Amino acid sequence: MTSRSAAITVTGLRKSYAGVDAVAGLDLEVHTGEIFAILGPNGAGKTTTVEILEGYRDRDAGDVQVLGEDPQNPSSGDRVWRNRIGIVLQSVSDFADLTVSETIHHFAHYYTKAKDPEKVIDLVGLREKTEAKVVTLSGGQRRRLDVALGIIGSPEILFLDEPTTGFDPEARRAFWELIRALRDEGTTILLTTHYLDEAEALADRVAVINKGRVLEVSPPATLGGRADAKATISWSEGGQTKTEITATPTAFLSDLAKRIPGEIEDLTVTRPSLEDIYLRMIGEA
């Protein structure tokens, strides 16, 4: 397997407030070109960690490299380094009286390698809203504008903080397609989310954080031994609901089909969901 370069590396990161550890020796590596999700309960240290990576908060200890630079003191200069990253905050309310087009064109002037604003408008799906004022946009449209402002500078890394909070299901899935398109263009994406289905749908890898430490980093499908977890088989037989927990569901179903002629009523086969594994990890921690 070919090794991938690291867009972000974190070693021994620590940050405390009033003597209480928010981040307690955290280690992390994000590969170039991947979607990486950080999961954890409130107070786990997610926001503090991301703010340190973005250069908005100083750390107490540890080593942090984002695109080969220390965000606390980038050797190339803060402005040069910030030209290489994009940030989409959880809530933004500026430029409400400008139109979508005016806002995106305005932000393009802040960057040395800005994308074509008109192409960005198309990329985020706001062509029909170019002359609409920002204050009139729906929540989903406003979030698309936030992403437009985050990517207008052609960032190598895009930070997304709870990107689909408040979205309806249709808007969330449309937003997911946009994030995948950005990843396919080569942008590294780091997102925090409370939606486990969002992490499963988008992330190449997830990190579960609790009490300022990383519990595990894995692809969603294998987190916490999920891929090897036993399956639960449920079916109806003789007027009763029966269940079986087994590590060999295929063999069990084969035997069941031999015993029960025709269709097996109410048959389901399930393995632990990402949410099941996540809650178990947090509970054990």
Q: Is 37 a member of any domain?
A: no
As a whole number of angstroms, the distance between CA 226 and CA 180 comes to 24
Q: Is 249 a member of any domain?
A: yes
38 contacts 91 by C-beta, under 8 angstroms: no
Beta strand residue intervals within the chain, DSSP E: 6-17, 20-31, 35-39, 61-66, 85-88, 157-161, 188-192, 205-210, 213-218, 231-237, 240-246, 265-270
Q: Give the pLDDT of residue 93.
A: 61
84 contacts 71 by C-beta, under 8 angstroms: no
Residues shown for the chain? 285
The enclosing H or E element of 257 equals helix 249-259
Tokens of 279: 């809650």
As a whole number of angstroms, the distance between CA 130 and CA 135 comes to 13
Q: Is 241 a member of any domain?
A: yes
Q: Quick one: CA dihedral 14, 19, 20, 22, positive or negative?
A: negative
Q: Is 50 a member of any domain?
A: no
Q: Give the pLDDT of residue 92.
A: 59
Query: In a 10 Å sphere around its CB, with 0-12 CB exposed, 13-18 middle and 19+ buried, how is residue 134 labelled?
Result: buried
Q: What Cα–Cα distance (Å) separates residue 47 from each residue in 25, 153, 201, 264?
A: 15, 23, 22, 48
Overall pTM > 0.75:
yes
Residues 6+ apart with CB under 8 A from 281: 208, 210, 215, 216, 223, 224
Q: Give the pLDDT of residue 163.
A: 82
> Which residues of the chain fall below pLDDT 70?
1-3, 90-94, 285
In the chain, how many domains are there? 1
Q: Give the pLDDT of residue 97.
A: 86
As a whole number of angstroms, the distance between CA 112 and CA 266 comes to 60
As a whole number of angstroms, the distance between CA 103 and CA 65 comes to 31
Q: Is 150 a member of any domain?
A: no
Q: Is 108 a member of any domain?
A: no
274 contacts 223 by C-beta, under 8 angstroms: yes
Q: Give the pLDDT of residue 169.
A: 85
Q: Is 202 a member of any domain?
A: no
Q: Is 155 a member of any domain?
A: no
Count CA atoms closer than 13 A to 271's CA, side-chain side: 15
**Which residues form the domain of 260?**
230-272
